[in-house]
């Protein structure tokens, strides 16, 4: 039986970032069920470039973008201009490889699915290891998380593919630095679709919704005349938040702990920030000669005091906005069509949309006040 100070389950961005930080002060083993890092690449990889600086990392970037155009199928649209905070598409497997190259003394075990976690022992089919600290970074599946911290997030299902299109209709990006986001109930009931240019008529095209995503995705590819290559995707956590992110000597980070932006389900940056919060709590506690369980109390308290309420508030705001968009987005896009709005931070979508709303306060309030009254 092996022994580690800390074991981390999952080598996605959250688990790898945590290992990179914690390996400076303790002996770490990371268990990853897949045999290769970052595959299948299930994520679009869009983040705010400034957030990478905050995290002190510079992973490989596929492309950068200045505009997001939100449109319906008829081409009525609003454009957000992110002049000061450019958006980057990360090379997702590249992000994992970049972080893995910075692991220092940590040991990464690929092809090792954790099947049991408890009483200071972790088990895969072929290994057993004892630990003082376990961190679950298993992503949106929550298989192990549910046994430690029971909670039920809201999900949508996302699918996407990298493909070519030569279509020249109103839905296609007008330049290589414009991302198109489609909200239209004729295509999707609750969520949205995206078309992200990669240059030379190549696009990353995807959508997310509560049900029937494969049929809707086929429809989308037809509308923009794109080749139907093998799609990939998965569950996207879009809201809710557990009451705690630590119990005993086990902590949860990333998607598994609900660290996502509820408006879009984006969790790359939030996941790494949760890892940073946990690592800082551990490193400072160890410096003060506190125990591992004390440092987890610090992590949990900071989460409960500063993060949880914000995520909950953003989830509610996001729910209302999506509900509004579902009910009368067509009218809103028509009334605001052609509007262009400057935005500073891609990672703060709700502020961006409220800023748009404030441009036309009366039409916005008239349309949405009945919905707001009915919202519980």
Ligand X SMILES: Cc1cc2nc3c(=O)[nH]c(=O)nc-3n(C[C@H](O)[C@H](O)[C@H](O)COP(=O)(O)OP(=O)(O)OC[C@H]3O[C@@H](n4cnc5c(N)ncnc54)[C@H](O)[C@@H]3O)c2cc1C
Residues that bind ligand X (CB under 6 A): 9-15, 31-34, 42-47, 113-114, 137-139, 141, 144, 158, 160, 206, 233-234, 236, 254-255, 260, 265-269, 271
Cβ closer to ligand X: 114 or 226?
A: 114
Closer residue to ligand X in complex, CB, 70/357: 70
Nearest Cα neighbor of 320 from 263, 236, 254 is: 263
Provide, rounded to whole angstroms, the least separation between the CB of residue 271 and ligand X: 4
Q: What is the 3-state secondary structure (H, E, C) of 168-237?
A: CCCCCCCCCCEEEEECCCCCCCCCCEEEEEEECCEEEEEEEECCCHHHHHHHHHHHCCECCCCCEEEEEE
In the complex, minimum distance from the CB of residue 264 to ligand X, in angstroms, rounded to a whole number: 7
In the complex, minimum distance from the CB of residue 5 to ligand X, in angstroms, rounded to a whole number: 19
Nearest distance from C-beta of residue 268 to ligand X, angstroms:
3
**Nearest distance from residue 346's CB to ligand X, in Å?**
10
CB of 167 to ligand X, least distance (A): 22
Q: How far apart are CA 52 and CA 44, in angstroms?
A: 16
Spell out the residues 6+ positions from residue 347 whose beta carbon is closer than 8 angstroms to its own. 47, 48, 51, 261, 266, 269
Nearer to ligand X, 204 or 367 (CB): 204
Please, what is the minimum distance in Å from the beta carbon of residue 152 to ligand X? Answer: 17
CB of 369 to ligand X, least distance (A): 32
Bridge partners of 135? 8, 251
Specify whether the CB–CB gap between 26 and 6 falls below 8 A.
yes
* Of residues 253 and 282, the one with the C-beta less far from ligand X: 253
Q: Are the C-beta atoms of residues 341 and 356 closer than 8 Å to each other?
A: yes
By beta-carbon proximity to ligand X, the closer residue of 109 and 296 is 109
Angle formed at CA 284 by CA 283 and CA 290, multiple of 5 degrees: 95
Query: Please, are residues 209 and 224 in contact by the beta-carbon 8 Å criterion?
Result: no
Query: Residue 65 or 364: which CB sits closer to ligand X?
Result: 65
Residue 157 DSSP label:
E
264 vs 295, beta carbon nearer ligand X: 264
Return phi, psi of residue 65, to 5°: -140, 150
The secondary structure of 277-297 as a DSSP string is HHHHHHHHHHHTT--HHHHHH
Distances (CA, A) of 331 to 95, 328, 367: 40, 6, 9
Whole-angstrom distance, CA of residue 302 vs CA of residue 305: 5
Least Cβ distance, residue 245 to ligand X (angstroms): 12
Closer of 77 and 274 to ligand X (Cβ) = 274
Q: Which is nearer to ligand X, 68 or 356 (CB)?
A: 68
| H helix intervals, 58-192 | 92-100, 145-148
CB atoms within 10 A of CB 230: 8
């Amino acid at each position: 039986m092996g022994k580690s100070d800390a074991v981390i389950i999952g080598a996605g961005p959250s688990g790898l970032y945590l290992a990179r930080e914690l390996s400076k002060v303790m002996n770490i083993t990371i268990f990853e069920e897949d045999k290769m890092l970052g595959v299948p690449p299930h994520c679009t990889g869009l983040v705010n470039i400034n957030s990478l600086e905050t995290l002190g990392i510079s992973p490989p970037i596929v492309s950068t973008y200045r505009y997001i155009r939100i449109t319906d199928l008829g081409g009525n649209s609003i454009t957000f201009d992110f002049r000061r905070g450019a958006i980057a598409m990360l090379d997702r497997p590249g992000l994992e490889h970049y972080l893995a190259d910075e692991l220092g003394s940590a040991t990464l075990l690929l092809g090792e699915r954790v099947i049991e976690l408890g009483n200071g022992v972790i088990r895969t089919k072929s290994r057993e290891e004892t630990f003082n600290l376990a961190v679950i970074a298993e992503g949106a599946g929550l298989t192990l998380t549910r046994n430690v911290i029971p909670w039920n997030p809201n999900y949508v299902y996302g699918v996407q593919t990298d493909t070519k299109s030569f279509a020249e209709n109103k839905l296609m990006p007008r330049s290589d630095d414009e991302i198109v986001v489609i909200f239209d109930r004729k295509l999707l009931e609750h969520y949205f679709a995206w078309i992200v240019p990669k240059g030379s008529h190549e696009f990353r095209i995807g959508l997310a919704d509560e049900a029937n995503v494969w049929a809707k995705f086929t429809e989308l590819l037809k509308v923009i005349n794109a080749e139907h290559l093998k799609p990939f995707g998965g569950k996207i956590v879009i809201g809710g938040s557990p009451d705690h992110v630590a119990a005993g000597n086990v902590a949860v980070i990333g998607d598994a702990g609900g660290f996502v932006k509820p408006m879009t389900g984006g969790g790359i940056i939030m996941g790494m920030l949760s890892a940073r919060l946990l690592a800082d709590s551990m490193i400072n506690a160890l410096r003060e000669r506190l125990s591992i369980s004390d440092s987890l109390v610090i992590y949990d308290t900071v989460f409960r005091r500063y993060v949880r309420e914000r995520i909950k508030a953003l989830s509610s705001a996001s729910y209302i906005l999506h509900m509004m968009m579902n009910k009368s987005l067509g009218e809103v896009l028509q009334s605001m069509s052609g509007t262009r709005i400057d935005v500073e931070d891609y990672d703060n979508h709700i502020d961006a949309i409220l800023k748009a709303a404030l441009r036309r306060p009366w039409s916005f309030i008239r349309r949405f006040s009945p919905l707001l009254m009915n919202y519980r």
